[in-house]
Each structure stands twice: as C-alpha cells, then as structure tokens.
Structure 1
Amino acid sequence: MILKLIKGLFVAVQIIILLFGLVIVGIGTWLELQYKSLKEVLDSSRLNYGPYLIICVGILVSLIALFGLVGVKGKNMLNKYSLGLYIILAFIVVLGQMAGAMATFVFREQVESIASEALNETMKYYGMDSEVGTLVTDLWNNLQQENGCCGVNGARDWIGEVRNESIALPSTCCRNTTDLLCGLDTESIASAYGGGCLSFVTEYLSDNLLYVGAFGLGFVAVQAVSIIVAVLLLMVSDYSATNKVGVI
C-alpha cells in the first residue's frame, strides 16, 4: 500500500513537471517568434540565444520527466535502473536550474546598462520602412505613450535619430496630443515629456527577473521533492522485495 501511494505521488509530480517543461518550451518559442526581427537589431548574445536556451531547458526537463514515468511501469513493477538514472539526471538538472535561478538575481544588477544599450541601438530604426522599423516604431510608441516618457534619458535623445525627415521626434513624446506642431522641429522638446523611458524599462525588467528567479526556485523545489520521492520509491521497493524473499 505504501509503495502504491508513493508511486502515485511520484507519477503526479512527474506530470506537473512535464507540464511545466512544456510551458517553458512554449514561452521560449513565443519569445523567438515575437522578437525574431528585433534580435537582428540588438547585437547581444544574451538576447539572441536566450529563447533557444529557454527552449532547450524546457525540452530537457520534459524528457527527464518522461524518463521518470518510464521508470515506473505496470501495477507493481518498478524499473530500478531507469529510476536510478532518473534520480542522477534530475539532480544534475536541479543544480543547473538552481544556478540559473540565482543568476537572474545577479543579472538584475546589470539590467540598467543592458536596457540603455538596447534602447539606444533601436532608436535609429524608428520610422524605417521595413519589418524591423515597424516593430521598433510600435515598441517605442507604446512605451512612450503608456508611460509618459520620451527617449532613453530625455527628448533630446531623438534629435537626429528619427529616419522620417518630416519630424524631429515621435508624436508619442508630446504631453499635449492636440498640439499638431509638437514633434515637427527641435523646439518641440519643450512640449515633450521631461523624463526618459530608461527608468520604466529598467523597473519592468528588474521586476520580471525577480518573478522569473522566484519561479525558478519554486520549480527547483518541486523537482527536489520529485527526487526525494523517487529515492523513497526505490527504498520501499527494495524493502518489499526483501520481505517477499524472506517469506519464500
């Protein structure tokens, strides 16, 4: 009875981990498709390979969960070798994920410089008639309009950066949306939002990295429970086998 209960708990945990792994794969795929064009602009390995790393982690976690399920087969049978190998692989992955989760907290300290570099790189593509230009233009317009900011550190950052020669800075920088002259020349700076967008982007990324790190540690805890349950499963299985031998 104890063996069946532990076995059921192990299977339930593996299904949860498998679903988590598939969710991680989905997030990585979404990031890759969503910002595929933007990655061509942002020449950073951390951004270019980030989605692929997320996808690989999700696939690895899912495969190990499936391997754990294969280790438990039949009603009362247990594949000890498969389960033992599962414990070793899961332990290695947990160590790697723990290091990755902790790294997100350290990475938060570098967010401002990375965000500043990325924002400055994208400004020159604003207003371009291309796929990248459209994506960058939409991102900047949404960022400035929703947060009431302009440029990286201020409106002057836009001077000379906008590809559209008919304007000096985006209309989304204007505090007064009814001012039709705002954005047409450098004098429009007086009518633009005073603060830059860097602080908003930094805060947003920093908060999300905190959530990612917390989620990562929570996921590690679930996998740690899974490893403990797998060990208990092997111990109870050995105990049951010993008792059967003794009776015979």
Structure 2
Amino acid sequence: MWMDLKIVLLSEESKSWMSCLTQLWEGPCLREGHQVVHSSSQLHPLHLRGSLGTGGHGCVTLPVWPDMSTIWNFSRTMASAAEEAQKGSPVVVGLLVVGNIVILLSGLALFAETVWVTADQYCVYPLMGVSGKDDVFAGAWIAIFCGFSFFVVASFGVGAALCHRRSMMLTYLVLMLIVYIFECASCITAYTHRDYMVSNPSLITKQMLTFYSADTDQGRELTRLWDRIMTEQECCGTSGPMDWVNFTSAFRAATPEVAFPWPPLCCRRTGNFIPLSEEGCRLGHIDYLFTKGCFEHISHAIDSYTWGISWFGFAILMWTLPVMLIAMYFYTTL
C-alpha cells in the first residue's frame, strides 16, 4: 500500500525539489511560502494524500512505504473487531437469558414452598420424628438454601451472558453446579423418606399404639397430635376403630376395653363438642362412632410436603440441565 504525496514546487523560492521532499519525509515543510493542504475527501488509514505549495508550477508524485507499526496496529484492530463480532451468538445469549430468568423465578417459588413445608401446617412432624424418618424436613431446609441460591446464581448468569465475560461465565457454571448437586440431594432425601412413611400404614399404626396415652414426653406429644387429627378429620385410629381392639397398646394398658374400647375422641360430637351418645359410641354404633381411619389424611400431608420438595425440585433440575449445557457451549465461544 502506498502513500501518494503531491508536492508543488515554487520556481522563485525553491532551491530544489529534493530538499523539500527531504523535509516532507522528516516532517511538514514549514519554510515561508509553503503550506500543507490535506485532501477534503475521507481516505483509508493506510492511503493518505498530501500536497504542498501555493501555486501550480510543478508537481511530483512520490510512492512511499507506510510505517510498519501503522500496518500492524490497523491489522490488529481489524482482527480484534472480527473476533469480538464472533463472540457468542445472539440466539445463544437470548436462550441463556430466558432460561436463567425461568430458573430464578422457579427458585423463588421453591424457596416459598419449602418455607411452607418447614412450617408444618399439617403438624405431622412428631409422627415422622419419633420414627427417625423426619429427613423430609431436612430436605426442605436444603431446598430453602437451594431455592434462594437458584435465584441469586441465575441472576448472576443473566449478567454474565449479557457481558460476554469468560470469567463471569465460568463462575456462574461452578456455582450453578454446586447448587444443582445440593438440590439433587434434597429431592432424593425427601422422596425416599416419604416412601418409607406412606408405603405401609403399619409403621404409623405401631407408633400410635406405642405412644398414644403413654406417660412420656413423646407419648404426650403424639397423644395431642392424634387427638387433634381424630377431632378435625373425624377419623379413628390408623385404619379404623378396630386398631385399638385388635392390638395391644399403651391406651389399652391405661383403659380397659370394657370401659372404653377406643379413645373417647373417636366418638361423634355435636357443635358444642359434646358426644352424641357416649354409650352408643362405646358399643360401636356407626351413627355415633367415626369409622374412617386417619391414615389417608396423614399420607396426604406427607405427600404434600414431598411433592413440594422433590417433584418441584426435580422439575427445576430438568430445566436447569439444558441451560447449563448451553452455558458451557457459550463459554467455549468466548
């Protein structure tokens, strides 16, 4: 590439055109009667034109090699611009932004739902705690952390995708992988312990017979729990009133069968909480006795907690996995 320099020589004042060329090479010719005039047209950075003089007596055009540093800087600028243009497809960035927005909103929902689980609205924690299978609530506490972490990390991921920063995207991937692993643990823990509790009513029946009316701290706590459930749900025992008759229990040790074969709260009551007929209830008349078991209500409560923790958590994990894969691809293009 050449630089064309037009030099006008004044016949009266110029000593020689070679001396003027020498001065132009070293810098602008500043002698009296010489003036540098630049072309008004926009020129390429490597193709500059200049003219010198006040008259039109003569003209010399000299091809000159451009400065190598200029060529190098220009080439580097163009290469950098091309590389920047190739960084990250707008479609991939859009997918990452939308995917992470869904994750952060789902994280907030998971956080709120697991807070509800830990509040134990159905008050079944004593049943699970006495059996040592209360890790459904442990999964809920982990899910609280994961839900909030999903919100924070996904928000960071949106910024990383929009900023096209390699370091930010790597940080996002590492943090999201950690949260992903914890959420997997939460879902698996909640589901496996739920299955142990509700797959067979015999475990809950055994707890009821062992601790109802027992003179211990756990016994008093479970007695209050069963009294509340039987009163509110209008049920009796785990499978029905015959649970108190067919099996030995702490209640039977304290109350002979001839006195009352089942707890008095199994009796139907009026709006004033007075038994309709205590004698009819004691004899087992279906009009005065709750015949439905309480296991359905207990299993529904545990299932409600588990679905909120495990299945909703699994749904978030299934959405998060492809988003992470897209983020990994995007990271390789940065």
Q: TM-score range by the shorter chain?
A: 0.5 to 0.7
Partner residue, 1:43: 130
Higher strand proportion, which one? 2
The TM-score, its normalising length taken from structure 1, stands at: 0.65
Q: Share of identical aligned residues, percent?
A: 8
Of 173, 178, 181, the match for 2:266: 173
Of 298, 315, 318, the match for 1:221: 315
Partner residue, 1:11: 100
Distance 2:234 2:107 in 1: 39
Distance 1:27 1:202 in 2: 21
Q: Give the deviation of 1:228 after TM superposition.
A: 1.3
Partner residue, 2:3: none
Distance 1:83 1:43 in 2: 41
Per-residue deviation, residues 173-195 of structure 1 (Å, max 9, x unmatched): 34695324345xxxx23436495
* Change over 3 Å in CA distance of 1:31–1:123 after alignment to 2: same
From the CA coordinates, give the structure whose radius of gyration is larger: 2
Partner residue, 2:230: 140
Partner residue, 1:231: 325
Question: Which blocks of at least 5 consecutive residues in structure 1 are unaligned?
Answer: 242-248
Q: Does 1:115 align with 2:184?
A: no
Per-residue deviation, residues 83-123 of structure 1 (Å, max 9, x unmatched): 22034324423543564466367536743222112222342
The TM-score, its normalising length taken from structure 2, stands at: 0.51
Per-residue deviation, residues 189-230 of structure 1 (Å, max 9, x unmatched): 343649572xx4058517953993597345323323222113
What RMSD, in angstroms, separates the aligned Cα atoms of the two structures? 4.4
Question: Which blocks of at least 5 consecutive residues in structure 2 are unaligned?
Answer: 1-89, 270-274
Distance 2:101 2:198 in 1: 38
Of 179, 182, 191, the match for 2:285: 191
The number of equivalent residue pairs is 227
Q: Does 1:59 align with 2:148?
A: no
* Change over 3 Å in CA distance of 1:59–1:33 after alignment to 2: farther
* Change over 3 Å in CA distance of 1:144–1:55 after alignment to 2: same
Q: Matches of residues 198-217 of structure 1 in structure 2 within 5 Å?
A: 200-201=294-295, 205=299, 209=303, 212=306, 216-217=310-311
Distance 1:131 1:208 in 2: 18
Distance 2:238 2:172 in 1: 56
* Change over 3 Å in CA distance of 1:91–1:149 after alignment to 2: closer
Of 62, 66, 70, the match for 2:156: 70
Q: Matches of residues 14-25 of structure 1 in structure 2 within 5 Å?
A: 14-25=103-114
SS in 2 for 1:178: coil
Per-residue deviation, residues 18-40 of structure 1 (Å, max 9, x unmatched): 1233124313321299457x46x
* Change over 3 Å in CA distance of 1:233–1:12 after alignment to 2: same
Distance 2:118 2:253 in 1: 36
**What code does the residue aligned with 2:152 have?**
L
Distance 1:14 1:116 in 2: 41
